[in-house]
């Protein structure tokens, strides 16, 4: 697929406005929101077109086959906890899922830099082989041998699928500037759709054909998704030569106080953001062991998250990404404490699943776009990867720490877990608000 950057560049009217001096519109500091950061002014943003939206569609498929699987771990948590790995504690089991996500983020900075150098397609191929191979290997694991899950489901998946995830997000960002949050929201919604479809699929296939064959079907679906992504995707930027191995790890962005503060807010929020994804179904079983709602709560969270990522991305582009981000993080924390904590019947969890899914979807999709607006275009992949790397520690430890707080299998026994999640999200939202004020003390301005 031919690159359309040159064709856009040939039309002067499609060029971005050039700065007139210190007062020029920049998407940094206290200046205007709709122009790119200074280091990115020589990059042309098509803001749409056939190739751009095909790339978004390809990235959507990558997210379906990567974070869509990650968002399905609530199914595995319940399945393992109530039989397959019944000899292990819920906290230990949750490490399988959090290690999976953590490795995705830890490998993200390398994957992002490699995308900046070589483009997306070869990296997608690595992710396709690793992701489907991970699911296939997990199908051969034995009950109560948790080390096999760590090797197949955590290590193999996390270390390879990152080479698809980070480029997928970055390639969409490089086609768009004014609509970047919307584009990234559409991409990220692929993980929500995966989180809706895959848990329902597994919950139906496992009783019908068994756990191993259900995973083998999943492996074929992953290969199909990546094949579509490879066919649709072409990077919008020319490849460049790597002049130093240091280009693989780009942490100089933390010298920017705004970037560093957003990272701190993301770390604290990530201690709590995934806790409901893992524990809402086991909590429902405690409220009512016979409830038929249990199997649909995680898909509900992910379905609502899909709307949060798309609608939230569009709203963030209109009113400002940080302006929309910090209230949604605070809302996640309040929902944990005000809705989940006092819930006494499964029906109350339905309302929590829908509202929390929407708000958490905004956080997951808009945070990269909010961060990307202060990153030079040529370093977008590497610095978004570095941003994800520092949040990996919170993602790895947050949900297992919450799991250790479960006192017993009663409603009250889960209270410390819920309070922990809500408090982390409120703290992360508050720090993100401080980062917003650091950009511009006028909270009515578009940021």
pLDDT digits (tens, 9 = 90+) for 374-415: 777 667 666 776 777 788 888 888 888 998 898 888 889 999
> pLDDT tens-digit profile of 146-197?
999 999 999 999 999 989 887 887 777 777 767 776 777 788 788 888 988 9
Q: Which of 273, 288, 287 is nearest to 413 (CA)?
A: 287
Residue 165 to residue 426: CA distance in whole angstroms: 27
**pLDDT tens digits in sequence order for the chain, 447 residues long:** 443 333 333 333 333 333 333 223 322 232 334 444 444 444 565 566 677 888 889 999 999 999 899 989 888 988 998 888 888 888 899 889 989 988 887 877 677 777 777 778 888 999 999 999 999 999 999 999 999 999 999 999 999 998 988 788 777 777 776 777 677 778 878 888 898 899 989 989 999 999 999 999 999 999 999 999 998 877 545 455 555 555 555 677 777 788 888 889 999 999 999 999 889 988 998 988 888 888 888 889 888 988 887 887 778 778 878 888 889 999 999 999 999 999 988 889 999 999 999 999 888 878 877 877 777 766 766 677 677 778 888 888 888 899 889 888 888 999 999 999 999 999 999 998 988 887 666 666 556
Of 358, 366, 383, 388, which is closest to residue 447 (Cα–Cα)? 366
DSSP letters, 366-425, are HHHHHHHTTS-GGGHHHHHHHHHHHHHHHHHHHHHHHHHT--SSSTGGGHHHHHHHHHHH
Give the pLDDT score at 254. 77
Residue 26 near residue 37, CB atoms below 8 Å: yes
Indicate the SS3 state at residue 145. coil
Nearest residue to 230 via CA among 122, 118, 381, 113: 122
Torsion of CA 386, 392, 395, 396, to 10 degrees: 170
Q: What is the pLDDT of residues 248-284, one digit of tens each?
A: 556 777 777 888 888 899 999 999 999 998 899 889 9
**Tokens matching residue 425:** 């999200």
Q: Enumerate residues 6+ apart whose C-beta is below 8 A from 418.
A: 275, 336, 337, 340, 341
230-263 per-residue burial string, b: 16 or more CB within 10 A, e: under 16:
bebbbbbbeeeeeeeeebbebeebeeeebbbbbb
Tokens, residue 214: 């259900």
**Start-to-end CA span in the chain (Å):** 35
Q: How many CB atoms lie within 10 A of CB 141?
A: 21
Question: Per-residue DSSP letters for 88-133?
Answer: S-HHHHHHHHHHHHHHHHHTHHHHHHHHHHH-SHHHHHHHHHHHHH
Of 3, 2, 31, 7, the residue nearest 17 (C-alpha): 31
Query: What structural domains and CATH numbers belong to the chain?
Result: 47-238+247-439 (1.20.1250.20)
Backbone angles phi, psi at 296, to 5 degrees: -110, -5
């Amino acid at each position: 697929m031919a690159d359309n950057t040159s064709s856009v560049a040939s039309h002067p009217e499609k060029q971005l406005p050039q700065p007139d001096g210190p007062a020029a519109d920049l998407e940094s500091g206290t200046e205007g929101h709709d122009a790119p950061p200074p280091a990115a002014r020589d990059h042309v943003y098509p803001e749409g077109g056939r190739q751009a939206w095909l790339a978004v569609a390809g990235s959507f498929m990558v997210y379906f086959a990567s974070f869509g699987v990650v968002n399905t771990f609530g199914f595995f948590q319940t399945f393992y906890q109530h039989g397959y790995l019944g000899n292990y504690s819920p906290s230990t089991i949750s490490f399988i899922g959090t290690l999976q996500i953590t490795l995705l983020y830890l490998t993200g900075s390398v994957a992002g830099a490699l995308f900046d150098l070589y483009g997306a397609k070869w990296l997608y191929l690595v992710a396709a082989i690793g992701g489907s191979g991970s699911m296939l290997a997990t199908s051969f694991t034995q009950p109560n041998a948790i080390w096999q899950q760590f090797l197949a489901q955590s290590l193999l998946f996390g270390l390879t699928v990152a080479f698809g995830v980070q480029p997928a997000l970055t390639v969409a960002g490089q086609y768009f500037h004014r609509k970047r949050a919307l584009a990234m929201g559409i991409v990220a919604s692929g993980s929500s759709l995966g989180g809706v479809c895959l848990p329902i699929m597994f919950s139906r296939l496992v009783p019908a054909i068994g756990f191993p064959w259900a995973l083998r079907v999943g492996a074929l679906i992953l290969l199909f998704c990546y094949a579509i992504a490879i066919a649709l995707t072409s990077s919008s930027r020319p490849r460049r030569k790597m002049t130093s191995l240091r280009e693989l790890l780009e942490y100089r962005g933390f010298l920017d106080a705004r970037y560093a503060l957003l990272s701190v807010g993301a770390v604290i929020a990530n201690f709590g953001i995934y806790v409901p994804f893992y524990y809402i179904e086991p909590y429902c079983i405690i409220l009512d062991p016979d409830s038929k709602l249990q199997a649909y709560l995680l898909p509900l969270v992910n379905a609502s998250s899909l709307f949060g990522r798309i609608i939230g991305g569009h709203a963030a582009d209109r009113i400002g990404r940080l302006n929309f981000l910090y209230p949604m993080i605070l809302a996640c924390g309040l929902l944990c404490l005000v809705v989940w904590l006092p819930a006494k019947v499964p029906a109350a969890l339905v309302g929590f699943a829908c509202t929390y899914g929407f708000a958490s979807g905004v956080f997951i999709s808009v945070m990269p776009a909010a961060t990307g607006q202060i990153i030079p275009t040529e370093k977008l992949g590497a610095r978004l990867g570095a941003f994800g790397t520092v949040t990996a520690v919170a993602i790895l430890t947050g949900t297992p720490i919450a799991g250790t707080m479960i006192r017993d299998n009663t409603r009250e026994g889960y209270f410390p877990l819920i309070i922990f999640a809500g408090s982390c999200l409120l703290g992360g939202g508050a720090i993100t608000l401080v980062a917003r004020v650091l950009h511009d003390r006028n909270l009515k301005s578009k940021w």
